[in-house]
Amino acid sequence: MNAKLRLGVNIDHVATIRNARGGDLPDPVRAAELAKAAGADGITAHLREDRRHIRDADMQRLREEVDLPLNFEMAATDEMLAIAIQTKPHAVCLVPEKREERTTEGGLDVAGGHNHLKRFVSDLGDAGIRVSLFIEASEAQLDAAKSLGAPVVEIHTGAYCDAKTDEERARELDRIRHAVQYGAGIGLEIHAGHGLNFETVKPIAAMPEIAELNIGHFLIGEAVFVGLEAAIAEMRRLMDEARTQAGYA
Ligand X SMILES: CC(=O)[C@@H](O)[C@H](O)COP(=O)(O)O
Q: What is the CB neighbour count within 10 angstroms for residue 216?
A: 24
Q: How many residues does the chain have?
A: 249
**Of 94, 143, 135, residue with least CA distance to 117:** 94
Catalytic sites, residue numbers: 46, 73, 194
CA distances from 245 to 207, 240, 248 (A): 11, 9, 8
Q: Which residues lie near ligand X (CB under 6 A)?
A: 10, 12, 46, 48, 73, 95, 103-104, 134, 194, 216-217
Please check if 216 is assigned to a binding site.
Answer: yes
Residue 183: name its binding partner from ligand X, ligand LD2JLWAY, none (Cβ under 5 to 8 Å by kind).
none
Q: How far is the CB of 46 from ligand X (least distance, A)?
A: 4
CA distances from 144 to 39, 198, 231 (A): 34, 32, 36
Q: What is the CB neighbour count within 10 angstroms for residue 167?
A: 9
β partners of residue 73: 46, 93
Residue 196: name its binding partner from ligand X, ligand LD2JLWAY, none (Cβ under 5 to 8 Å by kind).
ligand LD2JLWAY
Q: How far is the CB of 1 from ligand X (least distance, A)?
A: 25
The residue (of 94 and 148) whose beta carbon lies closer to ligand X is 94
Residue nearest to ligand LD2JLWAY (CB): 216
The residue (of 135 and 215) whose beta carbon lies closer to ligand LD2JLWAY is 215
Q: How far is the CB of 29 from ligand LD2JLWAY (least distance, A)?
A: 17
How far apart are alpha carbons 143 and 157 in whole angstroms?
19
Q: Which residues lie near ligand LD2JLWAY (CB under 6 A)?
A: 10, 44, 154, 193-196, 214-218
